[in-house]
Structure formats: C-alpha cells, structure tokens
Chain A
Amino acid sequence: MSTQQQEPETQEAPKDPDMKGAQSPQDRRLAEKESGAIDEESEKQAELEGETVHIKVFRYDPEVEGKQEPRFDDFHVPFEKGMTVLDAVMYARDEYDSSLTFRHSCRQAVCGSDAFFVNGKQRLGCKTQISDLEQPVRIEPLPHQEVVKDLVVDMSHFYDQMHAVEPYFQDEDTPDVNDLEEQRQSPENREKIKMSSRCIWCGACMSSCNIAAGDNKYLGPAAINKAYKFAMDDRESEEIKEHRLRILEQEHGVWRCQTQFSCTEVCPKDIPLTEHIQELKREAVKKNLKFW
C-alpha cells in the first residue's frame, strides 16, 4: 500500500509532495514503520472492531425504475480486521442488495477489475483498507467514463487506446524456436522496463487525467506506458523504436501530457507514468521528430 492512497484521508499534517517522487514504496513503508504510522493504523483498526462501517455507494441502472436517476445508497457493514473497500461492497451485495453491481475478480490487485472513485480518488477496491478512510466512505464509478450500471463503467475507449499503440512485440529476427535459443537481454535492460510491465489495465490513471478528460483522442498514460515498455526493450530494433516514437509523438500523443502527475499518484502498481512519458518526449526530441 502506498502513502499516496492514505494521505488525503488519514493524515492531518500537510502533504509533502516532494516525498513522492524521491522514495520507493519500500522506503516509504520502512519510514512509516519507524515513525509509528503503521502502529497508528493498527490502532485505527482496533477502534473499528465490533463497529459498522458506513459506505455510500453510487447507484444507476438505465432500465430499472427508481435507478434511472443516479443516487447514493447507504450501507452499514460490520467491520472486520483487514477489511478492504471491495470486501465492504461485496458484503453489502451478498447480505443487503444483490443488485449492487461492480467488476471484481482476483481480490489481489492483479486483474485490475475494481478501480473505483473512493472518497474522491481513483483506487483499487481490493487494496484499499477501509479503516484508512474517512466515513462515510463514498464509492463511485471511475470519472470520465460512461457508467453502464452502478460502479461499472464502459472500458471500451480505454481498450481502444491501449490497442492504438501496436501493443505487441515486433521483431522479425527472433532465433529459430527449434534451437531453443532466446534473445539476449541484460538484467539492467530488464530492470529498465520492469515498472512499465506491471500495468494491470485498471484505468485509474486515464480516469484521473485532465487532459484525457478534455481530449478524447489523447492516448493517455496507460497506453503510452505500454508503448514505453516496448520502446525501451533492447530486444526490439532501433528501427522499430523509431516507428513507435512516431506513433507517440503524433498530435494526441506524448506532447499532450502537462506533467500534472495525477496518473502517477493514483497508479496502484506505483508505475512512474509521468516520468515514462517525459522520457519518451526526450527520446522523440533526440530522434529529431517534430513536436506539436
């Protein structure tokens, strides 16, 4: 869990924006541990023991009378240690209202199905501890996407953008598979693409991005990060890298980014999205590609 997710709701002290870029998530965890933040967390958990948690969930269904006008429903869910936002909405669905609708599957932050807008911020339901949030906890669908029903949004535009960057490895010169010979890659180069390869397509970044909200054609942070993964991979040739940069430097590509860092802040996998976009801008300049 990153402090980015906890801060707005749990810490009274003014936020220190410089902390974010400089520290790895692990550093932050250790720092928290030393400062006693984690002890505070367990205290908070203990306080809630035996209590109920108040959640307000966005409801909408285009074809059911009474739900055609969006509204919020209140649920009071018995708290259990370790309860996440996803646990709470699942409990509300299974015990109170089976029509409460949201996507979810793996429960461990890898399938990327359950990005919601929780207390005003894009978060994965399954990795957000409810005890870290101010009550009532307001749970809404991701902004800037069409709502299909309750917390379910139409992801097709997100997928279209992901597909627009030729999101597949391209190299004609791979060794013959029968020789069982791999393409060589240095551990350093693998490390270089590691963070970019962790994307789980949850759409939190795209939803948080003001530019994407105003420009429907903007590729958006997730798709650009996907392209980064390939462009920085030494296994692809320089020629293909140039081809990728041409896709990215088009009118609705990297140059649209205004480095507001909102995508980086909400990414549940701690991918430095803004940095990746900046790096691609520099690469495009190096290659003398025109920019807008």
Chain B
Amino acid sequence: MYEHDVIVVGAGGAGLRAAIAAHEAGADTALVSKLHPVRSHTGAAEGGINAALQEGDDWELHAYDTMKGSDYLGDAPAVETLAQDAPEETMHLEHWGMPFSREEDGRVSQRPFGGLSYPRTTYAGAETGHHLLHTMYEQVVKRGIQVYDEWYVMNLATTDEPDPNDRECHGVVAYDVQSGNIEGFKANQGVVLATGGPGQAFDHTTNAVSCTGDGHAMAYRAGAPLEDMEFIQFHPTSLPSTGVLISEGVRGEGGILYNSEGERFMFEYGYANNSGELASRDVVARAELTEVDEGRGIEDEYVHLDMRHLGEERIMDRLENILHLAEDFEGVDGLVEPMPVKPGQHYAMGGIETDENGQTCIDGLYAAGECACVSVHGGNRLGGNALPELIVFGKRAGRHAAGEDLGEAEIRTGYGDDAEDEDDTEFPVTPGKAGLDEVDEAIAADGGVAADAEGLLERAVERERARVDRLLDRDEGVQHAEIRSKLQQAMTDYVNVFRTEDGIKKALEIIRECRQEYQNVYVDDPSRTFNTDLQHTIETRNLIDVAETIALGALVRNEFRGAHWRQENQIRDDENWLKHTMVSWDGGEPSVWYRPVILEGQDKTYEPKERSY
C-alpha cells in the first residue's frame, strides 16, 4: 500500500496545479494518472486563458460576461472567484516561463473571444493548452512531486454511511498498467479528482480517447451528486471527419463562416446580429446545424470557416497550428481554401458537485477542472474560461486538501434542506444498476464494516482485484468496444445539439441495453502486462454511468437554456428552472433533484437578462 497526505488523480492542468498547491502547502503529495502528465488532454486546448489583466478591463466585467454566458446558471461565488483569481494565476504561469505570445512592448498578448466584452483571452499561439500543460509539468519536476504515471485509478475508498454527507474518502485503488498490479493509495488528508471530461460518451467529439469520465463515475457511485450534466458544449468548429478542434481563435482573429450559398449566415439569417461569428458557442453551433437542416450546408453536413483574408503573415504568426491541423486531419490548406467545420462534442459544463474550495459532500474528496461542477459555466462555457478554471480551482482544491483555511464556502454540497425532489418526469426505463453486482455482494457477505482507513482501503483493493479477476477469467460474452460504440452512437443521435423528449427517451432505453450487455462483458486479452483491453473495459462502465446522467438531466429539464435546447419548450423558463439539476446514485437507484442557483454576488445580484449577442 502506498501512502501520501494528498493524492491527486489525473495530471492535466487542474491536477498539476492542485499538486503544486498541495505541495507548497507542505503536504506530501502524489499524482496518480492513467497517462504520463504531458499526454493529458489539456495539451489540446488551443485558444487561451481569460484574465482581466489590462488597464480598462476589470474582474467584474469578466464575471458579468461569464454569468451572462452561463445563461444565469453559474453560481455567483464561483464565477466571481474565477474572475478575481484568474489574473494572478495567469501571472504565475508567466513567471514559470510559459511562452505566451507577446506584444511589441513585451507584454503578454490578449485577443477577443466569443461572448467577451473585452479582449482578455491570453494566449500562446493556438497552442495555449500545450504550453500550460508543459509549463506546469516542469514545475512538478522542479519540486520533485511524486508522479505515478500509467496507473489507472479504478475506484475510491470511501466509507458507506447511509447519508453520503456523512461519508469519508481515505484513498483510491489503482491499477499499474505496466505490471497489472492493483494497489491501494492511502490519502491521509484528501483525494483530488482531476480526471477531465466525459467526451467519449459521444461519437463525434473533440476529446481524447482517454476522456472517459472516470472521476465522474467514481465520485457518483461513492455518493457525490453529479450536477448539470445535461449541459454539454458542442464546439461550432470541429473538423467533420475526425472531430479535431479548430480554435475559436480563428474567429477571434476575424475568420468568417459561410453556408453553401456563400452567405455569411450568422448575420444574413439573424442568428447574432451584433457579434456574428463571435456569438456564444451554443448560438453558433445551432446556427450551423439549422443551415444544414434547411439545405444550405455543404455535402449536407458542414459549413465553411474562411480565414484566407487574414493573410499569410497574420495566420502564420497567430494561427499556424490551425494550418497543420486542417492539412493533416482534413487535407485542406487554410491559406488557399475555406475549412469545413461542424459542431462536435467539446466540453461538459456539469460534473461532480463541489463548492468553491473544490470540496464535495464527501469528507476528504475534492474535484477540480472539467470533471468538477463548481459551477462556473452554468448552461454554457465561454471560450477561454476552461483554462483559468483549471488553475484557479485546481489550486484551491489542492490547498484546501492540504489543510489550508480558505474560509467557509458559500456554495453548499450534498442533498440537504434546500433540495427539491424531481417527481414529474416519467422515465422510459429504470436507470441505475442492472441486476446484482456479484463482486460487491461477495465482499459484503465476507465481513463487517472496516474498522479504520487502512482496513477500508484493503477491502477496496480486494474488491477491485476480484472484479478484474472476474473480467479476465470469463472467456465468452460481449466485448466492451461493441457496447461503447453503441452508447456513443445513441448519445450523438439523440442527446446532441437539438434534443426532443422522444429522442432522449430512446437514448435512455439504449443506455439501459448497454448496461445489461455490460453484465456479460469479458476481456479477451489474458495478459497482466499493459492490458489496455482491461482498462478500456473498465472505462466503458464509467461511460455508461455518465451518459445516463447526461440523458436524465436532458429529459427532466424541459426548457431551452445555454447549450441545452428542447424542442417542446424553446424558451428559457426562469420561473421554473433557475436551478441546478442533480443526479444522485443512491446505491444504484438514481434519483434526480434540484438546488437553486446562487445569483447573489459579493456586491450585487446578477439579474437574468436576455442573452443576445
């Protein structure tokens, strides 16, 4: 068994920042990640970091833009914390040597981004995430923080009191991909989940193959609610054949969208008369699909993004990476022709419910970054707001887990007296567990409650070893790839940009089938050495749990807010829906409930206004 004060799971932007912060606070800290840190998907972020750095800009403007962008589903204490802390955290990166793009006077460059009232997106070419990731990994190396790379965390070791608010997390169980050994990692002070997004729940996604919602699923099954999962951002400019992302920076620099008629549709059809291409992402994604649906798409599938008029010099200076991506993954030369683009799953606004210190309702369990929902992004994330979230809330989670006092949080977590139960919606199938979990049953029958943290961890390790043995021993059934592909297709077909009640119900039925099929899943590769078949099979279970919460949220929320559009009720319904959707696992019988959004900020209340661009 390994033992540290703080265990950080995942080593992308949020995980690295949490580890640095916990280490600086004096905690013995370790990073445990299924990938080597520099392989993390933060590296694919292109656009930039929103931070109010310049004279004339102000954190309050940043907070206002973020709240408006969220369609008034962000919690003000989280939104304001983000806007206040982002400048200092961006400066830390600069002081750690991050190669930001520069102005003539030597200061860091900032550019306009969608939904921003001031050009405050701080960038490093069109590869900001790559530089942020490598710069922070350098700092981890400098500090000698222990990294267990290619260790796949399979489960949490939490106590099992009936009320999740009474539970404690004492560590994790991880699987050494290289050797196949399964070991316990005891966390004396806290576990920080920083496992990234669940994009692989969808078929057409900009996310890496590794983005399988592992942290979401583990926290959910341990009792932490998942919040606002229906809010999925579809990025308007992904390449049609692969889903590879073309940065919003292209539109920020002046790139234009055209339909098959050569019309600049964002203006000509009135989707966004003021901001045009730089309207919020959900607005642009819906506009593109509407164009395609109305017969003005190219090859009935996509629209064109044109940047030729920016000129070679400017493109090479600020967007060179985009030329490589378009060339390598779509065979298109952005200097001589427009690039084909369509909406692709890009980001999950929802996630593991936390407060502004990164804490979940389970004592000792934290979450930060895309896997968390603090909630900053509400119904829709603005471009350039993901990277500051990683560094601001990664740091807070790390410090708090290491025992620093950050003051009492204003955001509440866990089911409590402000909860409102969902009891209007009929589900087409019962969500949750499909039959008995034989491993859990066997271990439960084996003995009573563990007396201490070590005992708890030992039992958790035993359980995961039994689960793996079972997957490896079985030699017939269904393979995970088949189930995963069916799940992804259902989500992209029915829980995409445009959603209908019937479609979402269909998705829930297919998810149920996937669960049932998963009962008979087996791993064909018998090897203990680098068994990715085994790892992917475990990931697929996580994807099923996460996809189900996305579909449940989409079904109950019968309104149109931010990225979530419902055919049956195409208006934002503030009277009934200024509240977060929560899904709790409840031991395998999920329940849906709501918690009011917090619109009261430090000095002012954010009154919901129409979100027009």
* Residues of A participating in the B interface, judged by any CB pair closer than 8 Å: 1, 25-26, 29-30, 33, 38, 41-42, 61-64, 81-82, 93-95, 97-99, 101-113, 127, 148-150, 152, 155, 159, 163, 167-169, 171, 174-175, 177-178, 180-187, 189-190, 193-194, 197-198, 200-201, 229-230, 233, 235-236
Contact = CB atoms under 8 A, between A and B. Distances in A.
Contacts of A180: 53, 87-88, 91
28 contacts: A61-B527, A62-B529, A98-B523, A99-B531, A101-B531, A101-B533, A105-B39, A108-B242, A108-B244, A108-B329, A110-B44, A110-B127, A111-B38, A112-B39, A113-B35, A127-B328, A127-B329, A150-B530, A168-B96, A168-B142, A182-B94, A187-B101, A187-B103, A190-B99, A190-B100, A201-B38, A233-B97, A235-B97
A159 B140 CA distance: 14
B141 A167 contact: yes
Contacts of B99: 190, 193-194, 197, 229, 233
Nearest to A64: B527
* Interface residues of A, dominant DSSP: loop
B330 interface: yes
A180 B36 CA distance: 32
B448 interface: no
A30 B209 contact: no
Interface in B136-151: 138-139, 141-142
Contacts of B330: 82
B43 interface: yes
Interface stretch (B75-83, B105-113, B491-499): B105-113
A169 B43 contact: no
Contact of B244 (A99, A107, A194): A107
Nearest to B537: A98
A26 B323 contact: yes
Given A110-B43, A149-B529, A94 B481 contact: yes
Given A64-B526, A106-B41, A187 B97 contact: no
Nearest to B330: A82
Nearest to A166: B142
A66 to B, nearest CB: 11
B241 interface: yes
B396 interface: no
B428 interface: no
B327 A1 contact: yes
Contacts of B135: 169
B104 A63 contact: no
A93 B524 CA distance: 11
B87 A184 contact: no
B436 to A, nearest CB: 26
Contacts, number: 184
Given A99-B525, A186-B106, A187-B104, A169 B138 contact: yes
B138 A167 contact: yes
Given A63-B528, A110-B44, A105 B209 contact: yes
A106 B208 contact: yes
B489 interface: no
> Which are the 7 A-B pairs with shortest beta-carbon distances?
A169-B97, A184-B106, A99-B525, A168-B138, A168-B142, A174-B95, A94-B481
Contact of B130 (A1, A177, A186, A200): A200
A110 B530 contact: no
A149 B141 CA distance: 28
B39 A38 contact: no
Interface stretch (B288-296, B331-339, B354-362, B502-510): B331-339
B529 A148 contact: yes
Nearest to B138: A168
Contacts of B549: none
Interface residues of B, number: 75
Nearest to B312: A26
B479 interface: yes
B309 interface: no
Given A82-B242, A99-B527, A107-B242, A190 B101 contact: yes
Given A1-B327, A177-B88, A197-B131, A168 B101 contact: no
Q: Quick one: which of A95, A108, A150 has the most chain B CB within 10 A?
A: A108
B138 A98 contact: no
B96 A98 contact: no
Contacts of B474: none
Nearest to A32: B333
Contacts of A93: 481
A71 to B, nearest CB: 15
A155 B97 contact: no
A186 B105 CA distance: 7
Contacts of A155: 36
A186 B278 CA distance: 29
Nearest to B109: A187
A73 B44 CA distance: 33
Nearest to B143: A168
A192 to B, nearest CB: 10
A149 B531 CA distance: 9
A199 to B, nearest CB: 8
Given A183-B94, A184-B106, A111 B333 contact: no
B102 interface: yes
B325 interface: yes
Given A30-B333, A63-B527, 5 more contacts: A1-B327, A61-B527, A106-B209, A189-B102, A200-B130
Contacts of A197: 99, 131, 134
A185 B102 contact: yes
A6 B40 CA distance: 28
Contacts of B524: 97-99
Given A82-B242, A105-B210, A230 B97 contact: yes
